[in-house]
């Protein structure tokens, strides 16, 4: 009897131990396939069933996804989620405009289990592209310009980037060419482009990006202005002796005629006082005032001769102000340019404010410029200039 009881106890213990080892056998966990709960232009919402943990502690559980890898893993994008009512849930923002490959996963000490992949297509199409307008550039000069753009429609998607692209060679520039990104986030936007080349044609257009892709505005074609350096031949065959990039006064350059007017002339034939100035670019106004005062019927005089001077290809010349004459001497005469008469004095259009009978002259010499005033009836040489 004792042997029988011992046998029964032994068999029971054997089966009891065997049952405990069987149920505690660890294995991979398991999750269900991915289900799409919502798919809109901005994001997708997905879920999957939690099936079992493989008799082990769960290290992590969630989803993996990729836009290029049809079998995404934890090496791609992944999330770590919690189990709620035997499900895991996730919302993913669309960052590409094609598709996503998604799998659910569960990881324990044995390894990682992945569900079958699910391909989810984005629901947008070409109608969701932005629409953008290029507005013709303004305020452009020799080396810079301001260009404007306007986003007419965002395609019902947030604009992720906007700006301008431009090229000297491509008549249809893209972001593969030179770009300048605008960061103000406004539908109407502008950018200042600098370090451009002078006298160069540029093709420019606005662009805007959203989730669907990139759109370009119409192409604007502009040619920057020709910048004349000192010493260059001007547009009317003279020689440039002053350059500036600003447009104060409505001009950028001063051009001296290539030669003197043939004969020396008086400044005027009477001592009438006339309002005149000295500075660069002001000889034009001086000349207008002088001619208005003395008229065109008197014998020829300096301001009238300069006003009537015409080059081979143009007019709008005038008698230089005193400072313009001094600049001509400094830049041209002292550097052997301009064909000036050696040691000759030239009339300016600037009256001496202290003596109505006198006006300023500048003597071309290798020494001091020696600006002086002389009686208006004195005969001196005349070199017309023009501003442009």
Could you read off the pLDDT of 145-176 as tens digits, one per residue?
999 999 999 999 999 999 999 999 999 999 99
pLDDT at site 40 = 92
Is residue 5's pLDDT more than 80?
Answer: no
Is residue 225's pLDDT more than 70?
Answer: yes
Each residue of 281-292: pLDDT tens digit? 999 999 999 999
pLDDT band at 336 (very low <50, low <70, confident <90, very high): very high
Tokens of 273: 């006082």
For 138-154, give the secondary structure using H, E and C.
ECCCCCCEEEEEEEEEC
pLDDT at site 302 = 97
CATH architecture of the domain covering 126-223: Sandwich (2.60)
CATH number of 30-121: 3.90.1150.10, 2.60.40.10, 2.60.450.10, 2.40.37.10?
2.60.40.10
pLDDT at site 138 = 78
pLDDT band at 23 (very low <50, low <70, confident <90, very high): low
Average the pLDDT over each of 4-8, 244-248, 277-281 and give the range with the smallest value: 4-8
Is residue 195 a contact partner of residue 143, using CB atoms and an 8 Å limit?
yes
Share of the chain above pLDDT 90, in %: 78
pLDDT at site 258 = 94
Each residue of 62-108: pLDDT tens digit? 999 999 999 999 999 999 999 999 999 999 998 876 899 999 999 99
pLDDT at site 343 = 86
Each residue of 46-75: pLDDT tens digit? 999 999 999 999 999 999 999 999 999 999
pLDDT at site 4 = 47
Residue 282's contacts (CB-CB under 8 Å, 6 or more residues apart) are 321, 323, 324
pLDDT band at 24 (very low <50, low <70, confident <90, very high): low
How far apart are the C-alpha atoms of 292 and 322, rounded to whole Å?
20
CA atoms within 13 A on the CB side of 337: 18
Residue 376's contacts (CB-CB under 8 Å, 6 or more residues apart) are 266, 267, 268, 269, 270, 271, 357, 358, 359
Is residue 11's pLDDT more than 50?
Answer: no
Q: How far is CA 223 from the centre of its chain?
A: 16
């Amino acid at each position: 009897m004792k042997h029988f009881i011992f046998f029964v106890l032994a068999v029971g213990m054997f089966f009891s131990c065997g049952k405990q080892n069987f149920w505690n056998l660890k294995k991979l966990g398991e999750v269900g396939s991915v289900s799409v709960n919502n798919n809109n232009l901005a994001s997708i919402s997905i879920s999957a069933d939690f099936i079992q943990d493989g008799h082990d502690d769960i290290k992590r559980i969630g989803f993996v996804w990729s836009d290029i890898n049809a079998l995404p893993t934890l090496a791609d994008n992944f999330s770590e989620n919690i189990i709620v009512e035997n499900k895991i849930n996730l919302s993913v923002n669309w960052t590409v405009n094609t598709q996503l490959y998604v799998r659910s996963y569960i990881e324990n000490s044995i390894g990682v289990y992945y569900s079958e992949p699910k391909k989810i297509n984005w629901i947008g199409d070409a109608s969701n592209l932005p629409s953008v307008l290029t507005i013709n550039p303004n305020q452009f000069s020799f080396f810079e310009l301001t260009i404007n753009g306007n986003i007419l429609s965002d395609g019902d998607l947030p604009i992720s980037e906007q700006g301008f692209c431009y090229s000297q060679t491509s008549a249809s520039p893209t972001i593969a060419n030179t770009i300048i990104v605008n960061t103000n986030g406004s539908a109407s936007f502008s950018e200042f482009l600098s370090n451009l080349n002078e006298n160069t044609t540029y093709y420019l257009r606005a662009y805007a990006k959203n989730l669907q892709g990139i759109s370009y505005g119409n192409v604007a074609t502009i040619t920057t202005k020709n910048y004349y350096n000192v010493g260059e031949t001007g547009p009317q065959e003279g020689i440039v002796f002053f350059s500036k990039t600003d447009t104060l006064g409505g001009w950028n350059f001063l051009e001296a005629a290539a030669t003197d007017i043939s004969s020396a002339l008086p400044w005027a034939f009477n001592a009438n006082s006339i309002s005149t100035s000295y500075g660069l670019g002001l000889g034009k106004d001086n000349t207008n005032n002088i001619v208005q005062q003395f008229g065109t019927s008197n014998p020829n005089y300096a301001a009238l001769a300069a006003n009537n001077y015409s080059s081979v290809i143009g007019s709008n010349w005038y008698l230089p102000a005193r400072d313009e004459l001094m600049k001509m001497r400094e830049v041209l005469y002292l550097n052997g340019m301009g064909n000036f008469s050696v040691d000759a004095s030239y009339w300016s259009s600037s009256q001496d404010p202290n003596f109505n009978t006198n006006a300023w002259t500048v003597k071309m010499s290798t020494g001091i410029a020696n600006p002086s005033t002389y009686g208006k009836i004195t005969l001196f040489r005349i070199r017309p200039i023009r501003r442009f």
